[in-house]
Amino acid sequence: MRSIRRGVLAAALGVAALAPGCGQRGGAAGIVRASAIGTYPKESVALLVLEVKKVRTLGGQAPWMKRLASLADEPGGPFQEAVKRLGADTIERLNRLSVAVVPDTGNRVAYGILAEGAFDPGRLREALGGQDLLTLVEAEGGQDFSVTVLPDGSLALGPRRILDVMRTNAAARGQGLDGNPALLAPLERVRPEAQLWGALDCRNLGRTMRSTGAAGDLGGLSLPATHLDALVSLALRGTIGESVVLDLLGRADTEANARNLADAARGLVALGRIGASRDQAKAWLEFLDGIRIDQKGADLSVRAAIPPATMQTFVEQIASARPQAVPVAARPAAPSGSPMAAPSSPARPGSGAQEGRTARPDPSPRDTRSPARRVPGNAAGSGSSSAAPPAY
């Protein structure tokens, strides 16, 4: 009888090792391979994912979460245009939201946004006027904010050149982010039950920052790209509640560099304590006291418990840094009686019509043809992130 029980246990462990999300192909990397997240361009250097459905199950939301959610409802900006076009109920059906950072042509950085949920693909396409890809807003210099419906019903938003690549990758899986070992490898370490997760390809992110001339500033943070050189990759996972518990899982190129990075992080925490002002001391010291830094071999980890007050300050900074509204492309009329039909917008103050000048018409939505210029695609090139990092 004991030998039978041992045999059953061994078989169960074998099945668990082969199951999706476990073993070598486990963690959040399995989600990337199985979902539309894998359609992001293969050259992507960073990925951040918020499991919206899991966050909703938490019940009551903290003030900072409500403030963050309210940003989409504020007038102006591309997201407001997307909400008007697709309908407010689209937000309610959202299950997962992600963003990827992608090196672009001309030493620039592009992005892609993916919304996954219980959407009705037919209704979404109807909201886009029957088109597969629609440019919602466009500014001078060729910058645009577009939206497309992927075959699985997910919504992809961002520059149309990025969306063209995602549409191509959706038809040939394994050619996009789901075939990028530099981001998949660190994601193997991230438990899929995390509510917030992501990864950085630090080597190629550093090259991208240097090529764009933004090496000293990343999202308003002083972070010279040379500091990323010792890091091969960085994964993150977070548990969201009133506070946020965030784990950063890094891998350096050598054990010595991992030790140096851990010491530098501890030094920054110590400096933060010294430099805390009297007004911010309580909340700031509470945050610093929650940081734990460990290093073993070439791996290092940082755990931080971010209190509500700190999160509220961070969200307010995001709100104040939002880009100004850009010209809105003309929208084709939705079918008569459609619940997705958007109301006509009133004339804006200061428009050409009000000032006695001839109003310049907004550009018409483009068709789905790909632009002639070269776009970031799936072919390996300089700065490609197709090279696998050292095995974990």
Q: 2 is written with which tokens?
A: 């004991």
Q: What is the pLDDT of residue 79?
A: 66
Q: How far apart are CA 95 and CA 166, in angstroms?
A: 19
Q: How far apart are CA 246 and CA 84, in angstroms?
A: 34
The closest of 318, 322, 108 to 209, measured between CA atoms, is: 108
The pTM score is 0.70
Exposure on the CB side of residue 375, measured as CA atoms within 13 A: 17
Q: 252 is written with which tokens?
A: 């350096």
Report the length, in residues, of the chain: 392
CB 203 within 8 A of CB 18: no
Q: What is the pLDDT of residue 179?
A: 96
Enumerate the domain spans of the chain: 26-320
SS (H, E, C) 230-259: CEEEEEEEEEECCCEEEEEEEEECCHHHHH
What is the residue type of 368? T
Strands 231-240 and 244-252: antiparallel
Show pLDDT as tens, one digit a residue, over the chain (392 residues): 444 334 433 433 333 333 333 334 579 999 999 999 999 999 999 999 999 888 888 765 677 777 777 766 666 555 666 777 777 778 888 999 999 999 987 768 899 999 999 988 888 888 888 888 988 888 666 678 899 999 999 999 999 999 999 999 999 999 999 999 999 999 999 988 889 999 999 988 888 777 666 544 443 444 444 556 889 999 999 988 777 899 999 999 999 999 999 999 999 888 888 876 666 667 778 788 889 999 999 999 999 988 777 777 777 877 776 554 444 444 444 444 443 444 333 343 443 433 333 334 444 444 444 343 444 444 433 333 333 333 33
Among left, alpha and beta (phi > 0; psi -120 to 50; other), residue 155 is: beta
| Coil/strand/helix, residue 136 | strand
The closest of 283, 282, 302 to 294, measured between CA atoms, is: 302
The closest of 112, 116, 114 to 159, measured between CA atoms, is: 112
In the DSSP assignment, the letter for residue 218 is B
Q: How far apart are CA 321 and CA 317, in angstroms?
A: 6
188: which residues sit within 8 A by CB, 6+ positions away?
24, 25, 26, 27, 28, 29, 392
Q: What is the pLDDT of residue 353?
A: 38
In the DSSP assignment, the letter for residue 105 is T
Q: What is the pLDDT of residue 166?
A: 97
- Read out DSSP for 314-368? HHHHHHHTPPPP-PBPPPPPPPTT-TTPPPPPPPPTT-TTTTTSPPPPPPPPP-S
Q: What is the pLDDT of residue 190?
A: 92
The closest of 159, 200, 233 to 44, measured between CA atoms, is: 200
Q: 88 is written with which tokens?
A: 């407010």
The closest of 229, 231, 201 to 215, measured between CA atoms, is: 229
The runs of H, that is alpha helices, within the chain are 2-18, 28-34, 52-56, 63-70, 78-86, 89-92, 121-127, 160-170, 181-187, 202-212, 255-275, 281-289, 308-320
Q: What is the pLDDT of residue 343?
A: 39
